[in-house]
Structure 1
Amino acid sequence: MIPYGRQDISQEDIDAVTAVLKSDFLTQGPAVPRFEQTVSNYCDAKYAVAVNSATSALHIACLALGVGKGDVVWTSPITFVASANCALYCGASVDFVDIDAQTYNMCPERLAEKLAEAKKIDKLPKVVIPVHMCGQSCDMERIYKLGQQYGFKILEDASHAIGGRYNGLPIGNCQFSDIAVFSFHPVKIVTTGEGGMAVTNDEHLAKRMRVLRSHGISSALEDMHERSPDEIWNYQQIELGFNYRMTDIQAALGNSQMVRLDDFVTRRQFLAMRYESLLSNLPIITPIQRANQYSAFHLYVVRLKLSDTNRNQREIFESLKDRGVIVNLHYIPVYRQPHFEKMGFLAGYCPKAEEYFSEAITLPLYPGLTEFQQDQVASSFEMALS
């Protein structure tokens, strides 16, 4: 059986975790700030805040950006539900911007059109969350210019994209955003088991996210409310926060994985290019990579040319699974989920997203995938299409 994604754990990773297990700190020790520094250095961002999941990072990032009741947050429909849920957690409402038909990222043209209409009725978004689908960056420079024009904040959901580059610079440098968020789930580029990270160049945002990840508690003297000098106050809860901390065990694994990040992405790039050759004669559309992009290739999504085959998407999907190739679908448009349909969203709301949904299949891609296994995937795919 060939999974669509899989972690790559080395002996060095195991040794790093074992060292923490033998140390004095399993959580809130030196490994977490060391991991934060590693990621911020890699991305060329000033600050990094480690948390227990990318979902948590999205949540506290929205709060740090001031999202609350009465606000609207826009994101892509082709993403995991967390990209939209983070706005709902804050009491805000959410809306969706249709995708670019080639990259599957938020379409800047649709965004510009939607912003112009929203301005007419005074319903502009507080925050826009572009999602770097499959590991390729959105067109962040264009989105940033729209942000300057219309006054919204930008939160990059880069959960798929650590190790990728945009305009020659590392994704996560926040040149065109306020905050960027990474995921370290086991099938992502690097893993901490579960975990996430928010990076920013804004000291105030970083400080606010650190407080929010730990119950809203601060030990900084400048945050403390004045109390009796006879009482011991070594920390204070200054607002309502959450238990979103990352452990030292997770951070140690993350630090060790970061050593191989560039190797992981290079391998993913190689396998993606090899798929391009192996699948060239099949009735499908393979992923494109823009000239100013270097995708982390977290996912390898193909689109079926269903008019050129006598089988439908589900039949092809099930046929591959029956042959031991565990494919997936990334993603069902978020607004088609029952929870969002209850809010009033209807089928057809984002036409390009729904066209994509009806044709997409995610093939296996991860560093440990061998060329022999990849040949098996290609052969099985050809048979499933026939």
Structure 2
Amino acid sequence: MKLKADRATLLKALAHIQSVAEKRNTIPILANVLINVADGRLTLTATDMEIAVVEEIGAETSRNGAVTAPAAVLYEIARKLPDGVAIELDHTGGDAPLALRAGRYATSLNVLDVDDFPSMMAGTLPYHFTMPAAVLRGLIDRTRFAISTEETRYYLNGIYLHVAAGDEGSMLRAVATDGHRLARVETEVPPGAEEMPGVIVPRKTVAELRKLLDEGTEDVAVGLSDTRIQFTVGTVTLTSKLIDGTFPEYDRVIPRGNDKILRVGKRDFSDAVARVAAISQERSRPVKLSIGHNLLTLSAVSPDQGTAKEELDDNYVTYDSTPLEIGFQARYLNDITDQIDKDVEFAFSDSSAPTIVRDVASPSALYVLMPMRV
């Protein structure tokens, strides 16, 4: 195998690849990138046995072949080479090292047998559809903050993607919850997705996909089965196993009778929460909302630091119901309001019941937040 590639092009691909390659090195081959040259095409592949990324890039190829080399080392070398340099990779086969040359720099890297490199491409994906990158990016951004990190509840360690009945017919929904807050965002069902099974996309896959979506505005091709999902973004294909579990019946925790409605400007509210919560060093940082007619008072108490309070009056707040006091974790409040552009709407029942939070300008998103005692 022999090729020459532009440093910037190779570096961008290696950035995608090395973040997927296994870092713990318990299985040495998983720390390597598979470099394959065939019929004038160069592809790079990395996998940790849960996710695989394959990227095709432009290069001058002069000899077909394949080799595996340490992904992190290759990335670091490419990152530290000067802009504009061409990188040559040359492997003569077998156990011979991979030679790398770039300008006056040269090195050789140990390789591992290509036959030991695992593949995640076996099996069919019966469901296929495409969706705009911006839409998929929105589904991820407005739900992933609520993904659970509690490994014992593994079925909550991802985004539940499924087709569900909405107010205006079937909708494609993304849902995430950690038991303290829930995020549900929906969009039109793309053609071809109508019969797809409900799937749980793992947290790491969501993170890697989100990086790819930052770099492209074109449509994303999605293929899936009951056990795998695949996203193609430009020249990059990300394949992942799905979480083998049953997502809870989340509709049961969405309250139906919350009729006490508070509307407040997102920026004014989130800034006030941050200022009031600064008094406490606790991770939970509880904040109490005392709500009256067109008046919201936020307060926090710290046994060590003191107290803090801020009022938002009718210049910022609309509320015309019975007075209410309710507490929330400050971080959870801001995680939700970070997804909202302008005005936020809270729908309360009482101080101990789940609260619904909505983006006034975007009815496709709904959030549920559990209160806490303050």
Give your verdict on TM over 0.5. Answer: no
Higher strand share: 2
Q: Which has the larger radius of gyration?
A: 2
Higher helix share: 1
TM-score (norm 1): 0.27
Which structure has more RCO (C-alpha within 8 Å, separation ≥ 6)?
1
